[in-house]
Amino acid sequence: MSFPEFSAGAHSSPSGVSLPKVTIPALSEMKRQGKPISALTAYDYPTARLADESGIDFVLVGDSLAMVVLGHQNTLSVTVDEMLHHTRAVRRAVHRALVVADMPFGSYHGTLAEAVANAVRFVKEAGAEAVKIEGPRVELVHAFVEAEIPVVGHLGLTPQSIHRMGGYRVQARTADAVLQLQADAFAIAHAGAGAIVLEGVPREAAEQITAALPIPTIGIGAGPYCDGQILVFHDLVNLAFAPPAKFVRRYADASALFRSAIEHYREDVEHRAFPSDAESYHLPESARRIIQIDRDDADAVVNPDAREEMNQQANYR
């Protein structure tokens, strides 16, 4: 086996500039250089491809998939197989960004061996380059790293803990809770996590933890001082059908755009304005000659003797 380039490869940005493949060590290097890390969720080929081609560094196949794609009330019911299916689609689309897959609720809550076996599936069967797990599960982070599976931690508001938290509530609102959060972040960093998502925590807490940690923090609802930021794609483009959280900035209104396109299409169909002649296939002249079109009642009368010859000429072009 040879390693001709000894690198993970390079890919072009929208401006044609060649950008190196994003890896877990590259994220730490970005932190060291003070370069903000852009992260976004994606769950399918087209959105992942757009994210990658737009220069996003870190694409997360989030278990938010359960809510924004599959229509569930929370993230708890999405399965490993569903997450694998979507991770594969994202993997096919992404060349430069780091592809991280969320491990769904229940897939890492049993024995360490079961959790490692599930994590291996994300890398081996779906092409994930890291998995993300929620909570300060230090032993588990260690076990994944031992199994050569890079891990992203997720602390603060952890949506898989919705029942314990009593809802999606901002976490770490007292000095003690901030100190505990910081201790948890240190513990999973020390166990080998490559980065930590900090969700739904006061900006001051995120700032202090970010400054103290050796690995990057990626914030969502955690203020401006994290090493990177992540948003859910459907929030970013207004496709989530729910009032946005305070931290969401909508950069486009895809709901309005798609709704108007769909309504326009339906009207065109109803008014027979679609398809036009230019959007229709045409018989070749030779076949046209053996068919009489009665344009008044739009009925095609085919000369039976010529039917066979016409069928042979028909081509889906």
Which residues contribute to the site for ligand KIV (CB under 6 A)? 41, 60, 62-64, 102, 154, 197, 199, 220, 230, 232
* Helix 203-212 vs helix 175-191: crossing angle, to nearest 10: 40
- Closest approach of ligand KIV to the CB of residue 199, in Å: 6
**Phi/psi class of residue 42: alpha, beta or left (left: φ > 0; alpha: ψ in -120 to 50)?**
beta
Burial of 306 (0-12, 13-18, 19+ CB in 10 A): middle
Tokens of 284: 């070749």
Residue 39 CA, chain-centre distance (Å), reads 9
- Closest approach of ligand KIV to the CB of residue 220, in Å: 5
Nearest to 44 by CA among 208, 223, 234, 180: 234
139 catalytic residue (yes or no): no
- Closest approach of ligand KIV to the CB of residue 158, in Å: 8
Q: For the chain, first and last CA: distance in Å?
A: 45
Burial of 214 (0-12, 13-18, 19+ CB in 10 A): exposed
Nearest to 122 by CA among 97, 93, 102: 102
Set 114, 199, 207, 309: catalytic member: 199
- Closest approach of ligand KIV to the CB of residue 250, in Å: 16
- Closest approach of ligand KIV to the CB of residue 27, in Å: 15
- Closest approach of ligand KIV to the CB of residue 113, in Å: 25
As a whole number of angstroms, the distance between CA 41 and CA 89 comes to 13
Which residue has the CB atom at the shortest distance from ligand KIV? 62
Q: How far is CA 41 from CA 25, 69, 137, in A?
A: 20, 11, 23
If you compute the radius of gyration of the chain from its CA atoms, what whole number of angstroms results?
A: 26
- Consecutive H or E run containing 68: helix 65-68
Q: Which is nearer to ligand KIV, 83 or 93 (CB)?
A: 83
As a whole number of angstroms, the distance between CA 176 and CA 266 comes to 57
As a whole number of angstroms, the distance between CA 215 and CA 273 comes to 57
- Closest approach of ligand KIV to the CB of residue 197, in Å: 5
CB burial readout 220-258, b (16+ within 10 A) else e: bbbbebbbbbbbbbbbbbbbbeeeebebbeeeeebeeee
Q: Would you name the residues annotated as active-site residues? A: 199
